[in-house]
Amino acid sequence: MEDSKRQQFRAALRETKNLPTLPGIVVKLSRMADDPDSTTEQMGKVLSKDHILAAKLLKLVNSAFYGFPQRISSLSSAIILLGFNVVKSLIVSASIFEMMEDQDVELWEHSLGCAVACSVVARRIGVDEPEEVSTAGLIHDIGKVAIKMELPQEYEMITRLMRERKMSMRQAELEVLGLGHDEAGGWLTKSWNLPTKLIEPIACHHDPRLAKDEMLSSSIIHFSDILIRGMGYGHAGDDKVPALSKRAWQLLNLSPEDINFIIDEVEEKLWEVKGFSLEIQAETENSATNG
Partner 1 sequence: MTRILVAGNDILVRPESRVMLEAKGYHIITCLDVQAATSHFLDDPPDILVLEKGLGGKGDRGLIRMVSACLQKANIPILLVIRQEEMIAGIDWCDYPVDDIICFPVAPETLLIRVQLAEARMNRVFDNNPLSKLPGNTSILKAIQSALESEKPLAVCYVDIDNFKPYNDHYGFSQGDDVILMVARVIVNVVDEIAREQSFVGHIGGDDYVFIVTEDKAEEVCKRVLANFEAVRNMFIEPEDVKRGGFVEKDRQGRETSFGLLSISIAVIPTNHGKFEHFGQVSAAASQLKHKVKALDGNNYLVDQRESYSPG
Centre a 10 Å sphere on the Cβ of residue 127 and count the other Cβ atoms it contains: 15
How far apart are CB 195 and partner 1 at their closest, in Å? 9
55 binds partner 1 (CB under 8 A): no
C-alpha to C-alpha distance for 64 and 60, rounded to whole angstroms: 9
Of residues 149 and 167, the one with the C-beta less far from partner 1: 149
DSSP-assigned letter for residue 245:
P
> For residue 178, is it left (φ>0), alpha (ψ between -120 and 50) or beta?
left
Amino acid symbol at 213: D
CA angle 220, 54, 93 (to 5 degrees): 160
259 binds partner 1 (CB under 8 A): no
Of residues 88 and 110, the one with the C-beta less far from partner 1: 88
How far apart are CB 272 and partner 1 at their closest, in Å? 22
How far apart are CB 94 and partner 1 at their closest, in Å? 8
CB neighbour class for 187 (10 Å; exposed up to 12, middle 13-18, buried from 19): buried
Of residues 142 and 227, the one with the C-beta less far from partner 1: 142
Residues in the chain, overall count: 291
How far apart are CB 116 and partner 1 at their closest, in Å? 21
Smallest Cα–Cα separation from 47: which of 6, 8, 18, 88? 88
Residue 44 C-alpha from the chain's centroid:
16
- Residues 84-123 vs partner 1: string with x where CB under 8 A? xxx-xxx-xx-x----------------------------
How far apart are CB 221 and partner 1 at their closest, in Å? 20
Taking each helix axis as running N to C, give the angle between helix 51-61 and helix 142-150, from 0 to 180 degrees, rounded to the nearest 10: 90
How far apart are CB 88 and partner 1 at their closest, in Å? 8
- Residues 22-51 vs partner 1: string with x where CB under 8 A? -----------------xx-----------
C-alpha to C-alpha distance for 223 and 272, rounded to whole angstroms: 22
CA distance readout (Å), 112 to 158, 209, 211? 24, 24, 23
**Contact with partner 1 (CB under 8 A) among 73, 135, 193, 224:** 73
- Residues 125-154 vs partner 1: string with x where CB under 8 A? ---x--------------------------
How far apart are CB 158 and partner 1 at their closest, in Å? 28
191 binds partner 1 (CB under 8 A): no
C-alpha to C-alpha distance for 198 and 85, rounded to whole angstroms: 25
Of residues 113 and 195, the one with the C-beta less far from partner 1: 195
Smallest Cα–Cα separation from 67: which of 56, 76, 78? 78
Only one of the segments 80-88, 102-110, 237-245, 262-270 lies at the binding site for partner 1 (rule: CB under 8 A); that segment is 80-88
66 binds partner 1 (CB under 8 A): yes
- The size of the interface with partner 1 (CB under 8 A), counted in residues, is 28
**Contacts (Cβ under 8 Å, ≥6 apart) of 205:** 140, 182, 218, 221, 222, 225
Please give the residue ranges that form the binding site for partner 1 (CB under 8 A).
Answer: 39-40, 60, 63, 65-68, 71-74, 76-77, 80-86, 88-90, 92-93, 95, 128
